[in-house]
Amino acid sequence: MALVKMVTVEEEMKRNPELKEADLALLREWLKKQPHLPPLSDSELVLFLHSNYYRMEPTKTTIDTFFTVHTHVPEFFSNVDPLGSKDVRAIMKVVCQFPLPGKTPEGYTVIYAKVTDSEPSHYVFSEAVKLLGMITELLLWSEGTCPGQIILVDMDGVVFGHMARLSPMTIKKYFYYLQEALPVRVKGLHFMNTVPFMDVILNMIKPFMKKELMDVLVLHSNKDSLNQKIPLEILPNEAGGEAGTLKDLWAAQVKILENHRAWFQEQESRKVNEALRPGKAKNAADLFGVEGSFKKLDID
């Protein structure tokens, strides 16, 4: 089982002229004073620096937040075994999520997500988010920095019954992870094949989106609109592209996950030790408020 061979710092410096050895040295010194955090390699520090445009204080915050979220959101970050977790295996039959085999003209990676089993009772939102996190993190750790990433949600197959499967707290936790913890430059959240009840979905997610993400939220009702942002040819055949069939693309992604089982098991063990945190220990309520504090969703 493969552990990830990360892109070297030397390679990253060729990619990113703004990357400075002095910044890495400062982060290493800072880490020595953070006994609650797990060790990080220089290549990992590069990911966090790059995602924060090489600003030091935001980088430190993102590193701390990443491991804090991994520790206090077990529904996303525990039982991430792509072979041994029954829940992960089950959601793999209901959704497919993978980086498209091609980039946008700006060099952005596009993560494509789609429901493949339209029966709402089979859809477990927290498991779909867990799988998306697994795929995104493995991609980052194995390919290194990229100019940016777009999440493309194909709404084909989504029915109104799926709305009852979403929970505001899970949505809140996902957007917190995406915006505050994940070391990636998010350049777009796009929806294609939009459905008549998009307003319901947007009303659910917008309260948890920062202005920067709202500014890159795009709804595509037709292929022309989509093609202006994402080249159609990099999409799966079923979505009007030329990248191959959904079945083949998803099977290849599942194989990649399975081959990195040992890496996922190692990542799962990398938590914050709250007993060693300088200052006050944190818990999930500190990050997200109290479960059950949301009004019940009324979508009847």
Q: What is the pLDDT of residues 116-129, one digit of tens each?
A: 999 999 999 999 99
Please tell me the predicted confidence (pLDDT) of residue 145.
97
pLDDT digits (tens, 9 = 90+) for 8-45: 999 999 999 999 999 999 999 999 999 999 999 999 99
Please tell me the predicted confidence (pLDDT) of residue 248.
98
Per-residue pLDDT at 230 exceeds 80:
yes
Please tell me the predicted confidence (pLDDT) of residue 298.
45
Please tell me the predicted confidence (pLDDT) of residue 295.
46
Distances (CA, A) of 27 to 55, 67, 69, 192: 11, 16, 20, 40
* Confidence bin at 3 (pLDDT 50/70/90): confident
* Confidence bin at 258 (pLDDT 50/70/90): very high
Please tell me the predicted confidence (pLDDT) of residue 297.
46
Round the average pLDDT of the chain to a whole number and report it.
94
pLDDT digits (tens, 9 = 90+) for 175-229: 999 999 999 999 999 999 999 999 999 999 999 999 999 999 999 989 999 999 9
Please tell me the predicted confidence (pLDDT) of residue 291.
62
Distances (CA, A) of 171 to 178, 202, 288: 11, 11, 11
Q: Which domains does the chain have, with CATH numbers?
A: 1-280 (3.40.525.10)
The number of residues in the chain equals 300
User: What is the pTM (predicted TM-score) of this model?
Assistant: 0.94
* % of the chain exceeding 90 in pLDDT: 92
Tell me the CA end-to-end span of the chain in Å, nearest whole number: 47
* Confidence bin at 289 (pLDDT 50/70/90): confident
* Confidence bin at 2 (pLDDT 50/70/90): low
Question: What values do phi and psi take at 191, rounded to 5?
Answer: -120, 125
Q: Which of 85, 162, 170, 75 lies closest to 117, judged by CA?
A: 162
Token reading at 71: 């520790």
Which positions ≥6 away from 255 have C-beta within 8 Å? none
